[in-house]
């Protein structure tokens, strides 16, 4: 049985509604974003309406007169679906449907439907189903009404399922089962993330459509799915990335962020977003060609806060799609790249390397002789900068950096009986890092 909301194929004509509360500004970019979301869900915006209000109406969110206007417009334009750029209560949805004689969908339901449509992996499907059920559970009574008037289209549930057979008890049982399954996935991921501790972890975050997956593809030569629409990526993918000095780091792609990302999604995708919380360095991808880049940066900053990313995690702004923009970027504001032409990629790798190097505990080691197994151990557990064998006194000198603190390697090295001398070095390459966001 398919429990998730799916999007019917084919374009559906949509009336888009936005209310501006108090002195909330009416901004072009947020309307553009909502249109992109509707299109991404397989709809087309046939008309738009807005209303300025001191506060939302408890019953209808908008005024009664406005609701009648929506009904007339829908009738005139042959529209059967109204999308609200807000979160509505189930009561508001059913009263609006009554008043407009259209199917009414709110922002959260729309975004959930897009996620459900994009989910490909088992993990993503479990997470989105949980998000949808948690969203619909308190609304089930309203939904009897809601779904009874749904035809095909955005927000319609998948085939082979009758809405009415879903009751609260079944939904709760399903939620418990999903949480159990997601728990199993999480425990597998914990093992994976333990493994990540041996490497420097970089996570690309950013607004949806910023070019995150394309950047990872260019850096690592991978073929991740990319698309010019919101939420192309729903899963975390990690790849090994070789830096100019031959060492490797782990780099991960994540689900894109958006302004007012529904809480239910943030909660369900908690584990997926672990890679952002545990990162040693965040690459914040910002589409340089977008007129809304300032708003995107703020939304990303707020979302990182919401998902619990430590403020102290280093952040490097990566201005993407620089092939679409003529004027040069101030290097202090970040690194400018084009994943299409390759411009700036080398500079990005060099900057990443400086970040990585500045986070290591550097030390110098003198060994009695060139012991291959010890040197292999160092290569696996540290970043090795220099190995010099001295013929005269058969000493091997090594400069290396410990990833998780000097103390984590000191005991192992001293206990080997091969070390003649070991000393901390002041961290080199710590200056000259620009572009922190």
| Site for Mg ion, rule CB under 5 A | 212-213, 232-233
**Closest CB to ligand GTP among residues 279, 382:** 279
Strand-strand pairing, 382-390 and 361-367: unpaired
Can residue 39 be called a binding residue for ligand GTP (CB under 6 A)?
A: no
Of 113, 109, 53, 59, nearest to 86 by C-alpha is 109
User: In this chain, which of 211, 262, 344, 435 binds ligand GTP, going by CB under 6 A?
Assistant: 211
Rounded Cα distance, 26 and 34, in Å: 13
User: In this chain, which of 236, 264, 339, 396 binds ligand GTP, going by CB under 6 A?
Assistant: 339
Rounded Cα distance, 248 and 123, in Å: 27
**Residue 214 touches which member of ligand GTP, Mg ion, none, C-beta under 5-8 Å by kind:** ligand GTP
Closest contact distance (angstroms) between CB of 130 and Mg ion is: 21
**Closest CB to Mg ion among residues 194, 228:** 228
Can residue 233 be called a binding residue for ligand GTP (CB under 6 A)?
A: yes
Closest contact distance (angstroms) between CB of 237 and Mg ion is: 9
Could you tell me which residues come within 8 angstroms of residue 210 by beta carbon, excluding any fewer than 6 positions away? 256, 285, 286, 287, 296, 320
* Three-class secondary structure of residue 416 per DSSP: coil
DSSP bridge pairs for 61: 57
| Structure tokens, 144 | 């009897």
| Structure tokens, 328 | 């040069």
User: In this chain, which of 81, 201, 336, 338 binds ligand GTP, going by CB under 6 A?
Assistant: 338
User: In this chain, which of 82, 232, 241, 316 binds ligand GTP, going by CB under 6 A?
Assistant: 232
Can residue 57 be called a binding residue for ligand GTP (CB under 6 A)?
A: no
**Closest CB to ligand GTP among residues 145, 301:** 301
Residues 293-332 that bind ligand GTP (CB under 6 A): 320-321, 323-324
Strand-strand pairing, 12-21 and 81-84: parallel
Strand-strand pairing, 315-320 and 335-336: parallel
Number of residues in contact with ligand GTP, rule: CB under 6 A? 23
**Residue 340 touches which member of Mg ion, ligand GTP, none, C-beta under 5-8 Å by kind:** ligand GTP
Rounded Cα distance, 172 and 137, in Å: 8
Rounded Cα distance, 306 and 109, in Å: 20
Could you tell me which residues come within 8 angstroms of residue 291 by beta carbon, excluding any fewer than 6 positions away? 29
**Residue 334 touches which member of ligand GTP, Mg ion, none, C-beta under 5-8 Å by kind:** none
Residues that bind ligand GTP (CB under 6 A): 206, 208-214, 226-228, 230-233, 256, 320-321, 323-324, 338-340
């Amino acid at each position: 049985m398919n429990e998730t909301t799916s999007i019917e194929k084919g374009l559906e004509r949509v009336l888009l509604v936005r209310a501006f509360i108090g002195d909330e500004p009416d901004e072009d970019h947020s309307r553009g974003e909502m249109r992109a979301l509707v299109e991404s869900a397989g709809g087309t915006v046939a008309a738009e309406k807005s209303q300025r209000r001191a506060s939302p109406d408890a019953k209808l969110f908008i005024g009664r007169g406005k609701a009648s206007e929506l009904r007339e417009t829908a009738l005139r334009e042959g529209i059967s679906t109204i999308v609200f750029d807000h979160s509505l209560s189930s009561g508001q949805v059913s009263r609006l449907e009554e008043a407009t004689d259209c199917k009414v969908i709110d922002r959260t339901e729309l975004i959930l439907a897009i996620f459900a449509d994009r989910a490909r992996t088992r993990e993503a499907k479990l997470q989105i189903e949980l998000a949808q059920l948690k969203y619909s559970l308190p609304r089930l009574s309203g939904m009897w009404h809601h779904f009874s008037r749904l035809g095909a289209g955005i927000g319609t549930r998948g085939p082979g399922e009758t809405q009415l057979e879903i009751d609260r008890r079944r939904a709760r049982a399903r939620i418990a089962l999903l949480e159990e399954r997601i728990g199993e996935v999480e425990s597998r991921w914990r093992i994976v993330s333990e493994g990540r501790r041996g490497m420097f972890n970089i996570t690309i975050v950013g607004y949806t459509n910023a070019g995150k997956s394309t950047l990872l593809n260019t850096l690592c030569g991978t073929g991740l799915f990319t698309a010019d629409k919101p939420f192309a990526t729903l899963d975390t993918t990690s790849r090994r990335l070789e830096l100019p000095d031959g060492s490797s780091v782990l780099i991960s792609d994540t689900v894109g962020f958006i302004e007012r990302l529904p809480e239910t999604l943030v909660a369900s995708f908690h584990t997926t977003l672990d890679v952002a919380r545990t990162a040693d360095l965040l690459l914040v991808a910002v589409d340089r060609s977008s007129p809304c880049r300032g708003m995107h940066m703020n939304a990303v900053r707020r979302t990182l806060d919401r998902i619990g990313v430590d403020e102290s995690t280093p952040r490097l702004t990566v201005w993407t799609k620089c092939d679409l923009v003529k004027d040069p970027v101030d290097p202090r504001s970040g690194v400018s790249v084009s994943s299409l032409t390759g411009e700036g990629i080398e500079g990005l790798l060099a900057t990443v390397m400086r970040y990585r190097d500045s986070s290591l505990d550097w030390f110098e080691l003198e060994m009695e002789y060139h012991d291959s197994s010890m040197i292999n151990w160092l290569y696996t557990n540290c970043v090795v900068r220099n190995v010099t064998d001295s013929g005269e006194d058969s000493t091997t000198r090594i400069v290396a950096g410990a990833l998780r603190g000097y103390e984590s390697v000191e005991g192992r090295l001293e206990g080997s009986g091969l070390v003649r001398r070991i000393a901390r070095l002041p961290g080199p390459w710590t200056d000259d890092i620009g572009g922190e966001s």
